[in-house]
A and B are shown apart, each in its own frame.
Chain A
Amino acid sequence: MTTVVPLVCFALLGVGAVLILARLARGPSLLDRVVATDALLVTIACGIAVYCAVYEDISLEPVLLVVALLAFVGSVSVARYIGGMLVSTADPADRGADADLAGRPDARREGTP
């Protein structure tokens, strides 16, 4: 229980966290980064819970609660922030979205110049 299971769990979590970090660095728009941050915080919470479970150490469980709540507050506040940008400046927001698409050629529609 204390040799194989944490090895497998932390290997899976580590590879997943590296992939999420790659999306967090590459993400063409701010919303991709919000989604990646959410997934990263969930991965961190899973890692803390696996540590608590495997080594039967309950000293980190308040951190688990804080991380779970912080993910919600962070993603909601950033989403509200982007929505506020959209409402206040309608036209530059559209140009910003187009610039995001222009920086990512695979997201451009086929057939449009």
Chain B
Amino acid sequence: MSIADVIASVCLIAGCFLCLTAGLGLIRFPDVLNRMHAATKPQVLGVLLVMTGAVIRLAGQPIVWMLVLVGVFQLLTAPVSAHMVSRIAYRRRHVRRDLLLVDELGKPADPLPSRPHPEHPEGDPDVDEPADGPDATPRTTS
């Protein structure tokens, strides 16, 4: 067992451990944005670690470029899909507003957003009302 095998093994096990942490975070975290935070750890770092381990292990084979291509594709596509999912989550109000410290797309109301309100320590109900993004469609009352 050479030094390269040891390095490849460490990379593979670290990447697989990140997949386990994604599962734990998906189970434990409260809303969509928190779960995305947990689930995107193996999407970039985990895949890159596993691909690094596989490239070290398979060095010299003619098909190694495909592993590099998978890593590059993950780097390109993970931000795009995460951006779209989180944007839709904000507009569909799947975000727990009481857990947000700063809501830059909401109302520009509270001058001290991180300090708890003296009468409503759980969150000021006037400030904490869900607000859509700036380009949300106007709501029609039917």
Which residues in A have some Cβ–Cβ distance to B below 8 Å? 1, 5, 8-10, 12-13, 15-20, 22-23, 29, 31-32, 34-36, 38-39, 42-43, 45-46, 49-50, 52-54, 56, 58, 61-62, 64-65, 68-69, 71-72, 75-76, 79-80, 82-83, 86-87, 90-91, 93-94, 96-97, 100-101, 106-107, 109-112
What separation, in Å, do the CA atoms of A18 and B35 have in the docked complex?
A: 16
Partner of A50, one of B12, B87, B122, B137: B12
Q: How many A-B residue pairs have CB under 8 A?
A: 210
Classify the secondary structure of A's interface with B.
helix
Classify the secondary structure of B's interface with A.
helix
Determine how close the nearest CB of chain A comes to the CB of B123; give it in whole angstroms: 7
Determine how close the nearest CB of chain B comes to the CB of A46; give it in whole angstroms: 5
Chain A residue nearest in CB terms to B1: A1
What separation, in Å, do the CA atoms of A35 and B109 have in the docked complex?
A: 31
